[in-house]
Amino acid sequence: MEEIYQVKTINMISKKTKYAIKALLHLAKHYGEGPILIAHLSEKEKIPKKFLEAILLDLRKQGILGSKIGVGGGYYLIKNPKQVFLSQVLRSIDGPIALIPCVSLNFYERCDDCKDEITCGIRNVMTEVRDATLKVLSGTTLEDILNREKRLNTSKKRTINKM
């Protein structure tokens, strides 16, 4: 009898958020070149078209994207890629970055079982986790990510040439 192994489904950032980042990076690469079609983004970044529509709409409502209807329309970045922070993107789609609501800056909620926030040790650690995470996420922009990719590409080439 064969056994079936079920890979643990993983709960991190959602596909939706990952799609959002990929779409935004594409738009960032073509910043200033006018609107890009949903259909084009969908094809180039391998994102289901209808799903992408919803994502782009979210990002527009967050003030990150602009859109134009009709011939010659599409989506475009409203902000400069060096002003779009990864923290903002994650919050726009998945919501909070903190691991626990009582420590979230943008989605605060009191824990229902909380006796005293001030002296809660769990909350205290989770604040540190939040700060450590945010230091990276709100220190990284779309432009930074594109630059990382450039850097990684050239250092990869150097490595290959040495071999």
Partner DNA sequence: CAAAAATCTACTAAATTGATAGATATTATA
Partner DNA sequence: TATAATATCTATCAATTTAGTAGATTTTTG
Instruction: By CB under 7 A, name the binding residues for DNA.
Output: 8-9, 11, 14-16, 35, 37-39, 48-51, 53-54, 56-57, 60, 67-75, 94
DSSP string, 87-110: HHHHHHHT---SSSGGG-SSS---
Smallest distance from the beta carbon of 73 to its own copies, in angstroms?
A: 27
Going by C-alpha positions, the residue among 93, 79, 96, 52 that lies closest to residue 142 is: 79
> 57 and 16 in contact (C-beta within 8 Å)?
no
State the first-to-last Cα distance of the chain, in angstroms, to the nearest integer.
47
* Binding site partner of 69, from DNA, its own copies, none, Cβ cut-off 5-8 A by kind: DNA
Smallest distance from the beta carbon of 129 to DNA, in angstroms?
A: 18
| 10/163 with CB nearer DNA | 10
Site string for its own copies, 50-79 (x = CB under 8 A): ------------------------------
Across the chain, the runs of DSSP E, i.e. the strands, are: 65-68, 74-77
CA 28 to chain centroid, in Å, comes to 13
Rg, C-alpha atoms of the chain = 20
Q: Which residues of this protein are in contact with its own copies, per CB under 8 A?
A: 7-8, 10-13, 18, 21-22, 25, 46, 86, 94-96, 98-101, 104, 107, 109, 111, 113, 118-122, 124-125, 128-129, 132-133, 135-137, 140, 144-146, 148-149, 152-153, 156
